[in-house]
Structure 1
Amino acid sequence: MARPRVHDLEGLLDTAERLVVDVGPRGVTVRSLAAAAGVPNGTIYHAFGSLGALLARVWLRAAADFLNLQTELADQAKNPVEATVAAADAPAAFAERRPEAARLLLTVKKEHLLGPQVPDDLAGDLLALDKRLVALLIELAGRLWERHDAPAVEVLTTCVVDLPTAFFRRAMTVGEPISEDSRTRLITAVRAVLLLPPPRKD
């Protein structure tokens, strides 16, 4: 059997992404995905090896695209505070470009999507993404305070991970656009957090 074309695989990943957001990871089966994508069940196994590997690829694709955008927006900022604000607002910017992927990342826990069937190469790619995010937080902490210690990175985690999740998750959960009011309040909160330097370790 000929291997499916790359654009066909992208379409299959798009369908899986929508299904995960609509019914949750546990609601996605080989049969339901194949039916929604209009392909035979065997296409999934032939192209990805297992449903678990396919779902891992869905997460990896969404997370990589988001992190690329987040890094790009932070790099374009004129100073460290604006770079942190841009990184914090990145989920909203990503939701404008890839709404289903943004919903996936903000409303579905990675642990619920990934399972023991994740191939080693994909597990390595997922770990590399986590390291890229940590590297971005460390870089921002260095630019802001010339510090790279855990308390400084924790403050950046609050700004770039925790606050956006708190401000944007409700809209993403119900499938609504993120409002300008939410984005403005997030930016205000991030700027306020950055007014206080991180605590020093004793």
Structure 2
Amino acid sequence: MARPRMYDPELIMDAAERLVAGSGPDGVTIRGLAAAAGVSNGAIYHAFGSLPVLLGRVWLRAAGDFLDLQETAVREAAESGGPPAGAAVDAVVAAADAPAVFALRRPAAARMLMSVNRERLLGPGLPDQLAADLLALDRRLLDLLKRLARGLWGRADAAAVAVITLCVVDLPTAAFRRPLTAPVTDEGATAVTPIDTDTRRRLEAAVRAVVTIPPAGRSGRRPATSTTKD
């Protein structure tokens, strides 16, 4: 009869997430992680095989949870019941604001995703299953970008997707990087500097302005317009 497992891999990943967010991947060791998670070194190796695999799973879990939240926000904005053009813009705004919402719910994960380049955790030696999971995540993100572009302009070519990427990746990264990567206390990155309402509203205004200009190239629908909400 197999011995019962006395630890929760999710709790080990939670501890690793906090450590990566606080000190970066180079600051995480098996010994330090075992102490933080309250398990033995052997339990970590038994559950994950190696530290690189564990850190890869931690990053993929956080990125997947963020994308879940972002997709939900987009769906709720698109189904808000307003005029189609306005709802399409609202969906892009919701996608852009998602990092701020995620930071309130999962501060360590948000900090890790913003501050740690994924190539540092997901290198060329990534196991096949994690590589497949990463590819699936990239496809989900691309599908979301294309869906937003079609909602606005009835097209999802490279130029249209590039504009959406500017709105939901580049601008939020520029707006939110400072608070999400600011120095934290010795609590292990369990908190981040709150993203203030003014910053979020200015990002919204920027996104709404960007989508009024149609993508270059072939014509689609006229750009949707919507005023900034109070």
> TM-score higher than 0.5 here?
yes
TM-score after normalising by structure 2: 0.83
TM-score after normalising by structure 1: 0.94
Match of 1:82 in 2: 90
Q: Which runs of 4+ in 1 moved over 6 A?
A: none
- CA deviation profile, 1:74-116 (whole Å, cap 9, x unmatched): 0111311000000000001111111111111111110112234
Match of 1:4 in 2: 5
CA distance in 2 between partners of 1:76 and 1:107 (Å): 28
Q: Which amino acid aligns with 1:185?
A: R
Match of 1:196 in 2: 213
Does 1:151 pair with 2:159? yes
CA distance in 1 between partners of 2:108 and 2:29 (Å): 19
Match of 2:105 in 1: 97
Checking the alignment, whether the CA contact within 8 Å between 1:70 and 1:87 is kept in structure 2 is yes
CA distance in 1 between partners of 2:157 and 2:46 (Å): 46
How far residue 117 of structure 1 moved from its aligned partner, in angstroms, is 4.4
Structure whose residues are more often helix by fraction: 1
Match of 2:31 in 1: 31
Q: Which amino acid aligns with 2:56?
A: A
Q: Which amino acid aligns with 1:56?
A: G
CA distance in 2 between partners of 1:199 and 1:102 (Å): 33
Larger mean Cα displacement after TM superposition, 111-120 or 140-149:
111-120
How far residue 121 of structure 1 moved from its aligned partner, in angstroms, is 0.6
Match of 2:22 in 1: 22
- CA deviation profile, 1:40-63 (whole Å, cap 9, x unmatched): 111111001111111111011111
Does 1:187 pair with 2:195? no
Name the count of aligned residue pairs. Answer: 200
Q: Unaligned regions of 5+ residues in structure 1, if any?
A: none
Q: Which amino acid aligns with 2:5?
A: P
CA distance in 2 between partners of 1:2 and 1:92 (Å): 43
Q: Unaligned regions of 5+ residues in structure 2, if any?
A: 81-86, 183-191, 219-230
The alignment-based identity, stated in percent, is 61
CA distance in 2 between partners of 1:134 and 1:146 (Å): 16
Q: Which amino acid aligns with 1:194?
A: V
